[in-house]
Chains A and B, each alone.
Chain A
Amino acid sequence: MAETVLQVKSVTKHFPGVVALNQVDFNNYAGEIHALVGENGAGKSTLIKVIAGAYQPDGGEIIFGGQKTVWDSPHQSREAGISVIYQEFNLFPDLTVAENIFMGNEPLKAFRLIDYPKMIKESDELLSKFGICIEPLKKVKDLSVAEQQMVEIAKGMCNQTKLFILDEPTAGISDQEAETLFERLAVLKAEGVSVIYISHRLGEIFQIADRVTVLKDGNLVDTFDTKAIDKNTLVSKMVGRDLEDIYPPKGGEAGGEALSIKSLSVGHLVKDVSFSLRQGEILGLAGLVGSRRTELAHGLFGSLPITAGSYKLGGREVSATNPQASIRSGLGFLTEDRKNEGLVLGQSIEANITMPILAQFANNSLVDFKREKNFCQQEMDKYAIVAKSGEVLVNNLSGGNQQKVLFSRWVQACGGVLILDEPTRGVDVGAKVEIYKIIRDLAESGLAILLISSELQEVVGMCDRVVVMKEGRLAGELENDQISEESIMHLATLSRENFVCD
């Protein structure tokens, strides 16, 4: 058996009101790729943050390289040889590839000046060792997402990393780029480096991982050899129930056209997109990260300027140039980033629900508190928002309840078409099931729903029809039986160039 690089022993981590990790055991061997899976909120991020020293565990211990360690900061774990590659890269966009690789570790010459020629040469060697063609003098901001990922890995190698943690590395890259990544990971593995690999794409886990550990609601479900388990079993372990119980049945009659988009462009971001959406229909808008789905939604909502084309809501041409006009013409938009674009976290549930529709509760621009309170109480009952009262501040709510507050807001504020951008991001499975039911009920009540989601399973499970975007353009449309994770990925990643040396 290979040497154990990392051992996590019954680690527990509490947050106010939640047990994020409950006595979790986990270990990694040298030269092993160990996948970590689980639904959002299962505790994967918390676990890697504990391993990386960004959080201190409340109980249990971490043994790295044979030594019990207590890290006060991520800096210390990095020194010890752990590199975490988050989805948000930790790179300096205006510095060169070489400078980024050697950040904090620069080769020096006399008077502690940086030895640039040496740095560039070593960067080149490091990159070509992995068969990556990236010019060391290029600025990082000019690289593609996948190339930046390679720079992160090279940086980790430069720092003598023994354990890489990759957090959803394939979420933003094409299939070909992912293949390249897998080949590079194989090289790392051969060098005896240990890898923790987090991904929602189960296919690739079976392709590259040696073992897979499943977390659910902060608990360790089990660790399996990937050879000893199949995909369906893995999914049911992750979810804790069968798939049929998660998504409400599809169907329902689609009515008249609610939204029709004609050759819409949003600056350089979205180009010439056309599709339509009918009442009572859930239309999925799928694509990779960076396929500009969110930008399209912002264009429709008037929060980004439309530069060409037009769209109709309920048969009427809309020329909205700002969100309040879009809301008036019947559009609601539940944004993907609820903390930064959706909620005012320091304010009450009530204030958050009525934000776009405060006028409905105001007489002569004075707010009628009683009416507002009664309304919000009804809404909280309707959506089963768990809180002592409507005066509770939303930052004290769980992700699922926060999301329900936004549903309440936008269902009330919208007049026929509701755009949902990643509506189940960061909520637990229970809340997900509730939200799926809410979405389906809304569609059945006649609302037209545009569902943007990066979780393919969710798109497949929820949508009556799917349009796929790629690099700001429409890549295709799928209906009924055509909708599958594979067919969506196929459209989403069609023909992208690669950057591997020949």
Chain B
Amino acid sequence: MSEAFKKVVSKIDPSIGIVSGLVLLLVIAGFFVSDRFGTTQNLLNILENSVSLGLASMGQTLVILTGGIDLSIGGIISLTSCLTSGVINGNSSLMFPVIAGVLLLGIAIGALNGVLIVRLGVHPLIVTLGMSMVLQGVTLMYTLEPPGAMPLSWDLVAYGKLLGVPVAPLVMVLIFIAMWAFLKKARLGRYIFAVGGNAEAARLSGIRQNRVVVFVYTACGFFATLTGLYLVSRMGIGDPRIGGYYMLSSITPVVVGGTILAGGKGGVIGTLIGVYLIIVLRNLLNFMDITSFYQWIIEGVIIIVAVSFYVERKKV
């Protein structure tokens, strides 16, 4: 191994090593479990399945890096997906104004989360839990069933391909890379880590901590809305209950990817690999004909075991 390579390796967080290793292990296991695992079709399948979880977890990562948490992601996804297909209702001419409006709405909800947390001083868990309930209620008042319809052209978002390559999974990866660069290179990115690492020290260093907090919840609202729009495309219609899954599942890849709940440590690359870990695992269990109940159990065990590896043991 060359020195330069060693240096690069030494800089990679061990948690990313562990979670990458787990993904690799699952992929190898996949080839033994089924002939169909290694097919291009299945690979594309895995990539497509990772998009919605990836987008939702992206926002969650930013929030958790500041030491917060956003439980309203699911509510935002449900509401925005229903509003989109419900209001458009098959009318292509409404598509772009409605989508723009829905994006603004998601951003506004995220910003409201942030402002409430900062102004009221209430813990993010409480604020976003409350917000999630409010949003779920509003969504169910609006519709109890999948509402309206999307124009066929919106299918392109989920199923569009460029030279045979599905665009959405690619875009998701590009978003992760862009956010990685943002966190690393931008001042605001650095401030996110500073606030998560030690909010009081950040404040006393003249960092506008409140703005940083409002920013991450706003960004989280934006990414949750993207998730909603993607899901509408994938299914052709919104669903008032679809978000529920993402409320907690968006946290899994973040923590499995090495971002610590207390904030200040971690990053989006770990989350991306964490997303693939979850999706490949599910794919594999499907091939093994294991029911979803077992999938939940195995996922739960993996979270606890994986994260237990990252815990810095208190040295006494």
Chain A interface (Cβ < 8 Å from any Cβ of B) = 15-16, 55-56, 301, 303, 322-324, 326-328, 333, 335, 340-347, 351, 355-356, 358-359, 362, 365-367, 369, 409, 413
**In the complex, are the beta carbons of B204 and A351 less than 8 A apart?**
no
Known: A322-B206, A346-B265, A358-B187. 5 other contacts (CB 8 A): A323-B203, A341-B200, A343-B198, A346-B197, A356-B207
Chain B interface (Cβ < 8 Å from any Cβ of A) = 185-188, 190-191, 193-194, 197-198, 200-208, 264-265, 315-316
Report the minimal beta-carbon distance from B12 to chain A, rounded to whole angstroms: 14
Look across to chain A and name the residue whose beta carbon is closest to the beta carbon of B315. Answer: A16
Q: Name, among B191, B204, B316, the residue most crowded by chain A CB atoms within 10 Å (CB to CB).
A: B204
Q: Which of B187, B265, B315 contacts A362 (CB 8 A)?
A: B187
**In the complex, are the beta carbons of B186 and A345 less than 8 A apart?**
no
**In the complex, are the beta carbons of A367 and B187 less than 8 A apart?**
yes
For this complex, 24 residue pairs linking A to B, each with C-beta atoms less than 8 Å apart, are A15-B315, A323-B203, A323-B204, A323-B205, A323-B206, A324-B206, A326-B206, A327-B205, A328-B206, A333-B204, A335-B201, A335-B204, A340-B201, A344-B201, A345-B198, A346-B265, A351-B194, A355-B201, A355-B207, A356-B205, A358-B191, A365-B186, A365-B187, A367-B186
Q: State the CA gap A341–B188 with chains docked (Å).
A: 20
Q: State the CA gap A398–B204 with chains docked (Å).
A: 22
**In the complex, are the beta carbons of B190 and A344 less than 8 A apart?**
no
Report the minimal beta-carbon distance from B198 to chain A, rounded to whole angstroms: 4
Report the minimal beta-carbon distance from B7 to chain A, rounded to whole angstroms: 11
**In the complex, are the beta carbons of B194 and A355 less than 8 A apart?**
yes
By a CB distance below 8 angstroms, the chain A residues around B206 are 322-324, 326-328, 356, 413
Decide: A355 near B202, CB < 8 A? Known: A324-B208, A344-B193, A347-B197.
yes
By a CB distance below 8 angstroms, the chain A residues around B188 are 365
Look across to chain A and name the residue whose beta carbon is closest to the beta carbon of B264. Answer: A346
Look across to chain A and name the residue whose beta carbon is closest to the beta carbon of B188. Answer: A365
By a CB distance below 8 angstroms, the chain B residues around A362 are 187
By a CB distance below 8 angstroms, the chain B residues around A359 are 187
By a CB distance below 8 angstroms, the chain A residues around B198 are 340-341, 343-345
By a CB distance below 8 angstroms, the chain A residues around B201 are 335, 340-344, 355
Look across to chain A and name the residue whose beta carbon is closest to the beta carbon of B208. Answer: A324
Look across to chain B and name the residue whose beta carbon is closest to the beta carbon of A338. Answer: B201
Q: State the CA gap A347–B183 with chains docked (Å).
A: 14
Report the minimal beta-carbon distance from B228 to chain A, rounded to whole angstroms: 29
Q: State the CA gap A175–B193 with chains docked (Å).
A: 45
Q: State the CA gap A16–B200 with chains docked (Å).
A: 27
By a CB distance below 8 angstroms, the chain A residues around B205 are 323, 327, 355-356, 409, 413
